């Protein structure tokens, strides 16, 4: 699941202070568009998870914030805090947000092995760099995009220039009252190509 702007930025959706790396100052672009329909849909997605997979940076942010959430009315907290977490990292990780396991070797191979285990979904939330590498390895089965009606103009993007190509099939889409477009895509292998001929239209 990825939050993205219309120009493909995934960096810092939650606040201006969330991720200022590389001088980024445009964070918080998703928040003005949040609404109840968004929350219901994302809760439905999260409820399908058996475990979560994070990159190092996203894990650090989540591990800082979620354990401190003691709101008994927050339906996300038991899911985020209770389910197993896997973090892909090649540098030391504070894995005290239990239960957490660190993937530090061949991450693609380790994720492929996790996918072979029985159970529900292994979900990536954020962690765009990790998602890019797993997309290139053909390990993403479904892509859930939350597209905000904003052009951020700078920041890290989900699909940067020179990234891996891939075909997707639209499986579902919802537009919330706040203007968020929620798209679910299924992996469809290599992208198809064709030549336009108006006689065939």
Q: How far is the C-alpha of 147 from the C-alpha of 30, rounded, in Å?
A: 9
184-193 average pLDDT score: 92
31 in Cβ contact with 63 (< 8 Å): no
Count up the domains in the chain and report the number: 1
DSSP 22: G
Q: What is the pTM of this model?
A: 0.90
**Domain containing 166: what range?**
2-200
Inform me whether the pLDDT recorded for 201 exceeds 80.
no
Kind of pairing, strands 100-103 and 85-88? parallel
Give me the pLDDT at residue 111, please: 96
Whether the pLDDT of residue 62 is over 70: the answer is yes
Write out pLDDT tens, residues 143-178: 999 999 999 999 999 998 888 899 999 999 999 999
- In angstroms, the Cα distances linking 64 to 26, 49, 76 are 21, 21, 15
Categorize the per-residue pLDDT at 98 as very low, low, confident or very high, splitting at 50, 70 and 90.
Answer: very high
Convert the pLDDT of each residue in 75-94 to its tens digit.
999 999 999 999 998 888 99
Classify residue 198 by burial, with Cβ atoms within 10 Å: 0-12, 13-18, 19+. Answer: exposed
Residue-wise pLDDT tens digits, 38-52: 999 999 999 999 999
Q: Identify the CATH number of the domain in which residue 184 sits.
A: 3.40.430.10
């Amino acid at each position: 699941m990825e939050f993205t702007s219309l120009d493909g930025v995934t960096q810092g959706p939650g606040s201006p202070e969330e991720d200022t790396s590389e001088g980024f100052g445009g964070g918080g672009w998703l928040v003005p568009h949040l609404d109840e329909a968004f929350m219901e849909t994302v809760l439905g997605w999260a409820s399908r998870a058996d475990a979560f997979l994070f990159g190092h940076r996203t894990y650090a942010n989540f591990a800082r914030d979620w354990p401190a959430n003691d709101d008994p009315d927050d339906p996300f907290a038991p899911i985020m805090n209770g389910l197993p977490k896997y973090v892909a990292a090649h540098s030391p990780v504070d894995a005290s947000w239990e239960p957490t396991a660190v993937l530090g070797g061949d991450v693609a191979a380790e994720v492929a092995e996790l996918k072979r285990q029985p159970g529900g979904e292994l979900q990536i939330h954020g962690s765009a760099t990790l998602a890019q590498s797993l997309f290139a390895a053909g390990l993403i089965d479904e892509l859930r995009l939350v597209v905000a009606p904003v052009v951020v103009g700078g920041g890290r993007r989900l699909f940067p220039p020179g990234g891996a190509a891939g075909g997707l099939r639209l499986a579902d889409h919802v537009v919330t009252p706040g203007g968020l477009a929620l798209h679910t895509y299924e992996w469809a292998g290599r992208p198809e190509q064709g030549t336009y001929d108006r006689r065939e239209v």
